[in-house]
Amino acid sequence: MIPDRSTAPTAADGTAVPLAEVRAAFGVAAAYALLAPSVFNTQPWRWQIGRDAVLTLRADRSRQVHSVDATRRLLLVSCGAALHHARLALAVAGYRTEVVRFPRGGDPDVLARITVTGRQDPDPEQSRQHAAGRRRRTDRRAFGDRTVPESTLRRLRAVVEAEGAYLHLVRDDQMPMLAVATANAASVELDDPGYRAELRRWTNRPPESRDGVPAASAVRQGLRRVPIREHALDGTPGLEVGDGTDRGAAYAILFGIGDAPADLLAGGEALSALLLTAVAEGLATAPLSDPIELDWPRWLMRNLLADIGEPYVVVRLGFVDDPSPLPPVLRREPADVIEYAD
């Protein structure tokens, strides 16, 4: 419950936004951020709503997947996606905000602080993205032969660059290297007992946890241009691969100029903008982190970028021939991730 306080922050435009209103908006934004994508659907973040009308994003190291993410690259990308979701929710609600990423203070788990600086009219494009957030699912089924329009790909590149990252569309002549890198990563990881243990942890979650990737969301293996991760080691996948072979799919490498924590957080914000815009444009989406998780496959991804940047994640984009709905998305309860500081 949000306590009633009479003081109010002074906005940059001179208006006063009541503190209780700001804190309520922060709660809604942090809850919406639970829809953000994350590696193995770990949702590795926490939010704190301070008495001083500041929303703080923290990394949750207890949800780090150490076998594939020893340096927290994917954790930071996941948290960046949650940050963009929260920013988007506040913008659509009519608030202008200021975000300080990695504020000084010595705590490496504090990733960002958000304050409300005034009011604004919601932007129609942000409203489209926000609405898409509740429809977005990671679709692991094979995509069909219909290709992604060039105009849509240009739009996706623009929204990624607006968030400070870049998008490389994998060319046909580069597809064999992407397929080899992904298959190699899968083979090496499955030979690692630590990886198999963590995979089982996040694919066999108790129902009350509302996280992870259950067998109902896993897809049977089939002929694909690029293989996908096996999520059902000890069970039966709940989804058929479908008749497609990803022939019309576009594969995009999301990348940045470096891999410092600030770069990776920005990469996650760009990933969120990419996925939400793609869904708003009618595309199915599926992030692929496999070729980024290990050193050698990631080196091959750098080669695809001509060594001009650091790859953060690969995204498969396309159209599915099967109109049947995907299983409901699993997300934790807001009370599990949001703390109110009184």
- The answer to whether residue 93 is domain-embedded is yes
pLDDT > 80? residue 14? no
pLDDT > 90? residue 73? yes
- The answer to whether residue 309 is domain-embedded is yes
Do 133 and 35 form a contact (C-beta atoms < 8 A)?
yes
**Same domain for 169 and 102?**
no
- The answer to whether residue 325 is domain-embedded is no
Do 142 and 224 form a contact (C-beta atoms < 8 A)?
yes
* pLDDT (0 to 100) of residue 146: 96
**Same domain for 193 and 303?**
yes
- The answer to whether residue 56 is domain-embedded is yes
Say how many domains are in the chain. 2
**Same domain for 282 and 206?**
yes
Residue 301 CA to residue 289 CA, distance in Å, equals 11
- The answer to whether residue 268 is domain-embedded is yes
**Same domain for 177 and 239?**
yes
pLDDT > 50? residue 1? no
- The answer to whether residue 328 is domain-embedded is no
Q: What is the pLDDT of residues 199-258, one digit of tens each?
A: 999 999 998 999 999 988 889 988 889 999 988 887 788 888 888 889 999 999 999 999
Residue 99 CA to residue 54 CA, distance in Å, equals 10
**Same domain for 161 and 94?**
no
Averaged confidence pLDDT in the chain: 93
- What percent of the chain lies above the pLDDT cut of 70? 96
pLDDT > 60? residue 89? yes
Amino acid symbol at 246: D
* pLDDT (0 to 100) of residue 323: 80
* CATH code for the domain in which residue 46 is found: 3.40.109.10
pLDDT > 80? residue 160? yes
Residue 71 structural domain? 19-133+335-340
- The answer to whether residue 141 is domain-embedded is no
* pLDDT (0 to 100) of residue 222: 84
**Same domain for 128 and 157?**
no
Q: What is the total residue count of the chain?
A: 342
**Same domain for 191 and 298?**
yes
* pLDDT (0 to 100) of residue 61: 96
Kindly provide the residue ranges of all beta strands, DSSP E only, lying in 50-149, ordered along the sequence.
54-59, 95-101, 110-119
Q: How confident is the model at residue 101 (pLDDT cuts 50, 70, 90)?
A: very high
Residue 279 CA to residue 283 CA, distance in Å, equals 5
* pLDDT (0 to 100) of residue 76: 98
CA distances from 7 to 3, 4, 10, 14 (A): 12, 9, 10, 15
Q: What is the pLDDT of residues 271-289, one digit of tens each?
A: 999 999 999 999 999 999 9
- The answer to whether residue 258 is domain-embedded is yes
* pLDDT (0 to 100) of residue 325: 87
CB atoms within 10 A of CB 115: 20
Phi-psi region of 164 (alpha: psi -120 to 50; beta: other; left: phi over 0): left
- Average pLDDT estimate for 117-136: 95
* pLDDT (0 to 100) of residue 4: 38
